[in-house]
Each structure stands twice: as C-alpha cells, then as structure tokens.
C-alpha cells in the first residue's frame, strides 16, 4: 500500500532570509542569487561592478541565526563608500521594486536619506507556521530593513499618494 500522508517541514530561518533576498533582488536583471546549504553561503552574482561594490558596502558579511552563521559573498568594485545614499542608488538601480533615494539636507544631521520603494506588496512562498497557506506578505521596505546592514541616517519607506 502506498503512503499518501503529506510530510510537513519547516524551513530554517536562514532559508527564509535567502527567500527574502530573492524577492528583494530577484527582479533586478543585474543580480542573480544562489545559496549553498552545505557551506551556508549566499552568493550574489552582480553584472554591474559599481552595483556590486555598493551592495558589498551595504549588506552584512555574516548573518547569524542562533548557532548558524550565513555568509553573504559579493564581488566588490571601486567606488566612494562614504556616500551611503549614492550606494543605495547604485545598489538598487534597475530593480523594479525600487523608486528613488531622497536626500534630506540639514545642518543638524550630517546625512539623512529615504530609500523609497514602489507601492507594491511582496509575496513569496515561505513554509512557516504563521500562515497556513505558506505565503509571506510584506512590503519591499520591510525586506530592505531586514536585509541591508543598518546605517545611521538611512530610512526605508514606501511611496505615498501624498504630493
């Protein structure tokens, strides 16, 4: 007799993190991601060397989930790494979810910028226990907050209809 019982498994959090990166960067024609579960390495293959360097400056090198550390590997290029808002422009240029970076100039705050994403919902399959259908729904700004290494003066937001 054939076993017809469904086997339910839950992906570890580092697979969810990779899925989030895939959703955030998957539409960008310059970027291709791969994940090696044995070595716990996420590789970003970036055709544009300027964008690769910008991403290398913005993303964390290691992401720790309990006792498991995932390494993010990107090929770097040569650009000015001190201009953080410009790095976000370069890193997200061509990404269909990205809208713009808005620099806020103030004598009180040396650097403040909003990284704006289009008003779209990001959905991806994620076999977590929080959703019986296995779908995670979020905004691109929330993905960016979780994936990019935090930088002072950089805020992530979604476009609004208010103008």
Per-domain residue ranges of the chain = 13-158
- The set of residues, in sequence order, having a beta carbon less than 8 Å from that of 87 and lying 6+ positions away, is 54, 57, 58, 79, 81
Average pLDDT, the chain: 85
pLDDT in tens, 23-74: 999 999 889 899 998 899 999 988 888 888 889 889 999 999 999 999 999 8
Average pLDDT over residues 134-144: 89
Average pLDDT over residues 2-28: 84
Residue 87 to residues 50, 51, 54, 108, 135: CA-CA distances in angstroms?
9, 8, 5, 22, 31
pLDDT attached to residue 153: 85
Rounded Cα gap, residues 93 and 44, in angstroms: 15
In this structure, the chain runs to a length of: 163
Rounded to 5°, the CA angle 23-89-42 comes to 40
pLDDT in tens, 72-86: 998 555 566 678 898
The pTM of this model reads 0.64
């Amino acid at each position: 007799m054939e076993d017809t019982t469904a086997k339910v498994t839950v992906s570890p959090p580092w697979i969810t993190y990779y899925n989030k990166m895939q959703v955030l960067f998957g539409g960008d024609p310059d970027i291709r991601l791969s994940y090696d579960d044995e070595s716990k390495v996420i590789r970003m293959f970036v055709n544009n060397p300027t964008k690769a360097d910008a991403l290398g400056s913005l993303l964390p090198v290691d992401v720790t989930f309990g006792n498991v550390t995932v390494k993010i590997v990107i090929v770097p290029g040569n650009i000015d790494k001190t201009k953080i808002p410009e790095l976000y422009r370069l890193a997200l240029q061509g990404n269909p979810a990205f809208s713009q970076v808005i620099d806020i100039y103030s004598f009180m705050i040396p650097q403040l910028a909003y990284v704006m994403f289009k008003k779209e919902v990001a959905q991806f399959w994620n076999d977590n226990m929080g959703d019986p259908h296995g779908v995670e729904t979020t905004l691109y700004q929330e993905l960016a907050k979780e994936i990019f290494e935090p930088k002072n003066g950089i805020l992530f937001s979604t476009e609004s209809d208010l103008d």
